[in-house]
Structures are given as C-alpha cells and as structure tokens.
C-alpha cells in the first residue's frame, strides 16, 4: 500500500511543481514587484519581460512583445474568439472540431446562437483531425478556425503545421489551443502557420493556477474586449494599441508570471524532447500493464501525449475514481473532462477515467497505478 498520494491528474494541473518554480515564487515575494509605469522602483527584476523572453525562447517565437498574459487558456480563447468576431463584424463561418474543450465550444456556441457566426464541427477519426477534413469544411465565408493541438481526452496530437498551411492558403485565421501541449511538445512558432497560439501556465509549463496567455502574430486582426489601466499613455482615454498593452489591462498576476518564467526555464534546461520522451515512456508502462485485461477498455491504446482514458466494465467512472482515491490514494480525473462532444461520440457521454502523467511521475508510481486499476477491474468481476 502506497502511504502517500499518487498524483495522475496532470492534464488538469501539474503537481507537484518543480522546487525551482516554488523557490522563485517565494523569492519574488521578498521584494516589491517592478511594475512598469506604476511605480518609481528601479533595479528590480522585470518579471513580465523575463517571462516573455523565456516563453519566446521555448516556443521559438521572434516577437516577445506579442506574448500576452491572461488568466489561463480559457481566458485567452475568449479574448481571441470574441475579439476576432468584434473585428470582423459581419457574420462569418467558423470551423472547429468534436475534440474541443468547452473553452472553445461554449464561446462559439454563444456566438452562433446570437447569429454572429455560423459554425461547422469537424468529426475526428480515432482522435485526429485530417487536413482533408479541414479542407472539406471550408466555404467562401470561412474566416476563423479554432482547433486544439492536443486532446485532453484521447491524448492525440494534431498536425497544426499541415492544417495551418491549408488555412493560410485560404486566408482563414487560425487559433491553436495549446493548453495540453505547451511545455510538453516541441513547438516552433516561427515555422508553424498559426495566427495565435494559446497556452496555460498551470499544466505542462509547471506554473501556478491563474496565469496563461497567447502568442499572436498580427495583433491588428483582433479587437481588444477589455480596456483599462496599463501604466502607459494614461492621459489618453482610448486604450493603447501598442503591444502587449493592447490586450493587457490592470495589474498583472505577478506570482503567476514568476512561475511561468521559472517553469519555462526549467523545461528548457530539461529539454522539451526529453520531457516528452519520459512522459511517453511512463504512459507506455501503464498501457502495457492494462492491455489484455478483458475488463479494462482503453479508449486510445496509442496516445501521443501522456493521457490515458479508460473505463472498467460494469463500474461507473465516478465510482472507479472514488475507489482509487479512498483505497489506493491515487488522484485521477473522472467524467467528461469539459470535452462533451468527443465523449458523446466515444460512449454516449458516460465519461471516462483519465490518467495523465508528467515528467515528475516515476516508473514506480506507474506500476502502482497499473496494479490498482487491474485489481479494481478484477474485483468487480470475481
């Protein structure tokens, strides 16, 4: 019996955080924060600038000032989707997919219900969106595509490079949701034809909750949906148009930004390729141990990301999660994972048990989790 917690819910929020991230945040509390335009303090760390530079390096992005800080990926997607709609004004067509999180589906559903857009939902094939599927969904009125880079249910990774090329050729603005891939998958935004890439801090960037953002190539295509104080050009009642102030108003989440900076540096030192490889190896351990058990259904036996969705015969996913926590002290995620359309397609919306790992998990933990799942499955069928 494992006496401590075994945490396998990293697709929701990574835990534990690396010690250097926690140390950096704690150290930052010891002195006032440098706030450009809002203080006479000099000589302190400009954490927003440091974090933009670290993220630009991690994502291979040449314009750090085009990195905007928000609360999280949900906040970023809302700003971009509603901001694009406000900039376009006339009714237009949008494409998305059945893999998407409600952070994409709900804003688009609202806009469609208001008559501001028409919406097409591409059906995935075994968790993948094909380039042809995107091409077939395009119509002359298509101006926007919002698609996830990685599925938080099936662990599949989409070819945003190939998809982006098609969208670029048709003049369609492409927002890629990188909530499940930022910090985990090598990303070169200088070479990838996406117009905006969304990230969140609390997942695989190992930051704190409440911080996220997006990288944007042409800010003129998005109208800001928030206005307020920026610390610059304060005598002008019109909101600034310079970046990044165009999309940032109010006081920053400085502890969150510090964690982003430290988390990005941690990942860069580890090497993103190495982080992904370790996660894939850990995931394979669990998949190997659970494959072949007639009472365990794996929804995707070959995920690209460290995400395993499964179900146990005759047991509700919520009950499995409860047993894993109470008897084995294993933390997983159960239910629809805020992605209802793909669950409806998979099992009629019954939900799954999701195991999601990070590079901080260990082989011993994976063996323990596999043993627990097999034991629960076998005890349900004596």
User: Is the pLDDT confidence value at 174 over 90?
Assistant: yes
What are the tens digits of pLDDT across the range 267-281?
999 999 999 999 999
Q: pLDDT band at residue 38, thresholds of 50, 70 and 90?
A: low
Q: Return the percent helix, strand and coil in the chain, to nearest 5.
A: 40, 15, 45
Instruction: Tell me the CB-side half-sphere exposure of residue 83, using CA atoms within 13 A.
Output: 22
pTM: 0.96
Q: Which domains does the chain have, with CATH numbers?
A: 6-17+271-379 (3.90.1150.10), 19-270 (3.40.640.10)
> In this predicted structure, what is the pLDDT of residue 43?
64
- CA 194 – CA 214 distance, rounded (Å): 12
User: Is the pLDDT confidence value at 2 over 60?
Assistant: no
> In this predicted structure, what is the pLDDT of residue 154?
98
> In this predicted structure, what is the pLDDT of residue 4?
87
User: Is the pLDDT confidence value at 49 over 70?
Assistant: yes
What are the tens digits of pLDDT across the range 205-235?
999 999 999 999 999 999 999 999 888 888 8
- CA 181 – CA 248 distance, rounded (Å): 24
- CA 88 – CA 116 distance, rounded (Å): 10
What are the tens digits of pLDDT across the range 330-344?
999 999 999 999 999
Q: pLDDT band at residue 190, thresholds of 50, 70 and 90?
A: very high
What is the three-class DSSP state of 138?
Answer: coil
| Dihedral (Cα; 269, 186, 203, 84), 10-degree rounding | 130
Q: What is the 3-state secondary structure (H, E, C) of 284-344?
A: HHHHHHHCCCCCEEECCCCCCCCEEEEEECCCCHHHHHHHHHHHHCEECEEECCCCHHHHH
- CA 299 – CA 277 distance, rounded (Å): 21
What are the tens digits of pLDDT across the range 71-90?
999 999 999 999 999 999 89
Q: What DSSP state is assigned to residue 123? A: P
Return the exposure string of 262-291: e unless at least 16 CB atoms fall within 10 Å of the residue's CB, then b: bbbbbbeeeebeebbebbeebbebbbebbe
> In this predicted structure, what is the pLDDT of residue 3?
52
Cβ-based neighbours of 100, under 8 Å, separated by 6 or more: 146, 147, 148, 177, 339, 341
- CA 209 – CA 298 distance, rounded (Å): 30
What is the three-class DSSP state of 182?
Answer: coil
User: Is the pLDDT confidence value at 56 over 90?
Assistant: yes
User: Is the pLDDT confidence value at 298 over 70?
Assistant: yes
Please report which helix (H) or strand (E) contains residue 121, including its range: strand 117-122
Partners of residue 335 on adjacent β-strands:
352
What are the tens digits of pLDDT across the range 306-315?
999 999 998 9
Q: pLDDT band at residue 370, thresholds of 50, 70 and 90?
A: very high
């Amino acid at each position: 019996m494992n006496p401590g917690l075994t945490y396998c819910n990293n697709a929701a929020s990574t835990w534990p955080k690396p010690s250097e991230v926690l140390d950096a945040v704690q150290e930052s509390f010891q002195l006032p924060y440098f706030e450009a335009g809002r203080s006479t303090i000099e000589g302190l760390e400009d954490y927003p600038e440091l974090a933009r530079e670290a993220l630009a390096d991690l994502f291979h992005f040449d314009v750090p000032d085009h990195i905007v800080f928000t609360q999280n990926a949900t906040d970023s997607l809302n700003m971009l989707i509603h901001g694009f709609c406000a900039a376009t004004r006339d009714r237009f067509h949008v494409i998305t997919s059945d893999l998407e999180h409600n952070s994409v589906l709900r804003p688009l559903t609202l806009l469609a219900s208001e008559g501001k857009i028409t919406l097409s939902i591409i059906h995935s094939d075994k968790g993948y969106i094909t380039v042809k599927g995107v091409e077939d969904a395009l119509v002359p009125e298509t101006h926007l595509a919002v698609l996830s880079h990685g599925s938080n249910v099936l662990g599949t990774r989409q070819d945003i490079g190939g998809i982006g090329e098609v969208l670029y050729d048709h003049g369609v603005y492409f927002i890629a949701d990188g909530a499940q891939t930022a910090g985990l998958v090598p990303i070169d935004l200088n070479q990838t034809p996406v117009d905006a890439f969304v990230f969140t801090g609390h997942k695989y960037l190992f930051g704190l909750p409440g911080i996220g953002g997006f990288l944007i190539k042409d800010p003129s295509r998005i109208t800001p949906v928030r206005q307020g104080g920026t610390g610059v050009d304060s005598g002008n009642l019109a909101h600034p148009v310079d970046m990044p102030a165009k999309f940032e108003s109010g006081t920053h989440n400085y502890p969150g930004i510090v964690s982003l900076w430290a988390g990005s540096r941690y990942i860069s030192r580890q090497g993103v390729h190495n982080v992904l490889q370790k996660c894939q190896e850990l995931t394979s351990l669990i998949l190997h141990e659970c494959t072949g058990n007639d009472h365990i259904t794996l929804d995707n036996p070959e995920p690209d990301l460290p995400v395993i969705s499964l179900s146990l015969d005759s047991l509700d996913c919520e009950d499995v999660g409860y047993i894993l926590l109470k008897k084995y002290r294993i933390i997983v995620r159960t239910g629809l994972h805020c992605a209802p359309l793909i669950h409806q397609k998979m099992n009629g919306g019954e939900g799954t048990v999701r195991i999601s790992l990070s590079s901080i998990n260990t082989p011993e933990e994976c063996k323990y989790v596999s043993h627990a799942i097999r034991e629960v499955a076998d005890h349900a069928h004596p």
